[in-house]
Amino acid sequence: MELIAPITGMNDVLPEKAAAWQYVERLARELFAAYGYEELRVPLLEQTALFKRAIGEFTDIVEKEMFTFEDRSGDSLTLRPEATAGIARAAISNGLLHNQRHRFYTMGPMFRGERPQKGRYRQFHQIDAEAYGYAGPDVDAELILLSARLWKRLGITGLTLEINSLGTPESRRVHRAALVEYFSRHESALDADSRRRLGGNPLRILDSKNPALAELILGAPKLADYLDAESQAHFDGLRQRLDDSGVAYTVNPRLVRGLDYYTRTVFEWVTSAWGAQNAVCSGGRYDGLVGQLGGEPTQAVGWALGIERVVLLLEEQGRGVVAQPPHVFFVMVGAAAERLGLRIAEQLRDAHPTLRLEAGLGGGSFKSQFRRADKSGAAVAIVLGDGEAEKGVVALKPLRLGGEQAEVGIAALAGRLGELLELG
């Protein structure tokens, strides 16, 4: 029969890789708890209009990357390409913004129809942090400090922090006019994408990844020269706090980010390891978004990191994470032994909630089960044959611990295992 292939750019995470994913997610959850960020889970599907309005019509994501389809009643739905729009929508839908402050986080799959390559997939996964109701720059700094602490906890090195300020919509309008003037003068040098954006959102041209445009972009009018005084002070405040905390950064005046909703602070943690897929964690302030979505205008700032890219860094930096082996492999041979063994295993799990016990299910000789026990990496084997079952004992056999094989009465087994494995 013809095999059903997986969808291009959508990957299975096999158990040997999942350990690293769990590690990243667990450390992130610990840090979110430590900083007072609460989990907010939002749907994978939203109305297409949400992303169009939030991310912007003239962005790569909305122009060509969204998985959009009509449901049975003809409504246009889109698989979320990022989390911020959904979180902002949820904050509005649930009335969480009136006179309130919130710090949220979420994690899970995002969908973008990009060309798959190393570190770039069509279903990928983000960890996402957002703060609502804070004017900053204190919270902008805190979000960056949180991410810096995550790299430290994970043991990832070599990431550099780039920051910039996009100012307010007003200061951007002035800058926009200068950009249009500049790029119109060089229109023949632009590629098709950029020419289209010249009319729609010329700031987007600065985000182009086309190397042929690099020099032209370098010479373009800089936002920094058009920044309003308040945005300048906000940006200085952020820099001060990063300096206070000893977090190194570079100011990259060409950092504009690929989404339209940003104002003031934008930043990216980048690696030099992989060419164009260099962003590991990106974010910024989006004070206008909630209002734009019809909510009560609310200041907001956040970031998202790509779990695949973080896991890739862990691997490449030799910080591979291996799954924890079971403490115990339970060898059970014979019909009576298998029935009793299953019961004993449950009793042991009652006695030791942290015990990792793999039962030798599916039958097989002592020899084949010991082979499985060895392969499992377990520290100890419990051995139960029909003879032992009749006597009410098991054999405890150290596999990766010192000591000799010993017979233990079933009633004493939980206590003996607890001592041997130092289970808390």
Strand duo 300-306 + 123-132: pairing:
antiparallel
Q: Residue 193 corresponds to which tokens in the numbers above?
A: 């994408």
Select the span of 12-20, 67-75, 272-280, 293-301 touching ligand ATP (CB under 6 A).
272-280
Give first-to-last CA distance, the chain, whole Å. 51
Told to check if 389 binds ligand ATP by CB under 6 A, we report: no
Instruction: Select the residue interacting with ligand ATP from 161, 203, 304, 311 (CB under 6 A).
Output: 304
Select the span of 28-36, 154-162, 233-241, 298-306 touching ligand ATP (CB under 6 A).
298-306
Told to check if 380 binds ligand ATP by CB under 6 A, we report: no
Using the structure block, give the residue that is written with the tokens 């994470």: 321
Contacts with ligand ATP by CB under 6 A: the residue count is 19
Told to check if 279 binds ligand ATP by CB under 6 A, we report: yes
Q: Rounded distance, CA 348 to CA 415, Å?
A: 9
Sequence length of the chain is 424
Told to check if 306 binds ligand ATP by CB under 6 A, we report: yes
CB of residue 279 vs ligand ATP: minimum separation in angstroms?
A: 4
Told to check if 281 binds ligand ATP by CB under 6 A, we report: yes
Give the residue from 250, 247, 237, 243 showing the smallest Cα distance to 148. 247
Told to check if 384 binds ligand ATP by CB under 6 A, we report: no
H or E segment and range at residue 240: helix 229-244
Told to check if 83 binds ligand ATP by CB under 6 A, we report: no
CB of residue 220 vs ligand ATP: minimum separation in angstroms?
A: 19
Which residues pair with residue 124 across a beta bridge?
Answer: 110
Give the residue from 418, 391, 416 showing the smallest Cα distance to 405. 416
- The Cβ of residue 352 has, within 10 Å, a number of other Cβ atoms equal to 18
**Which of residues 266 and 417 has its CB atom nearest to ligand ATP in the complex?**
266
Yes or no: say if 346 and 317 are a contact pair by the CB < 8 Å rule: no
Told to check if 277 binds ligand ATP by CB under 6 A, we report: yes
CB of residue 338 vs ligand ATP: minimum separation in angstroms?
A: 46
Give me the residue whose beta carbon is nearest to ligand ATP: 306
Select the span of 31-39, 92-100, 117-125, 155-163 touching ligand ATP (CB under 6 A).
117-125
Q: Rounded distance, CA 24 to CA 319, Å?
A: 12
Instruction: Select the residue interacting with ligand ATP from 106, 126, 201, 208 (CB under 6 A).
Output: 126
CA angle 383, 419, 414 (to 5 degrees): 50
CB of residue 305 vs ligand ATP: minimum separation in angstroms?
A: 6
Instruction: Select the residue interacting with ligand ATP from 162, 308, 338, 388 (CB under 6 A).
Output: 308
Burial (CB < 10 A; 0-12, 13-18, 19+), residue 383, is buried
Q: Rounded distance, CA 139 to CA 103, Å?
A: 10
Q: Which residues contact ligand ATP (rule: CB under 6 A)?
A: 82, 112, 114, 119-121, 124, 126, 258, 277, 279-282, 304-306, 308-309
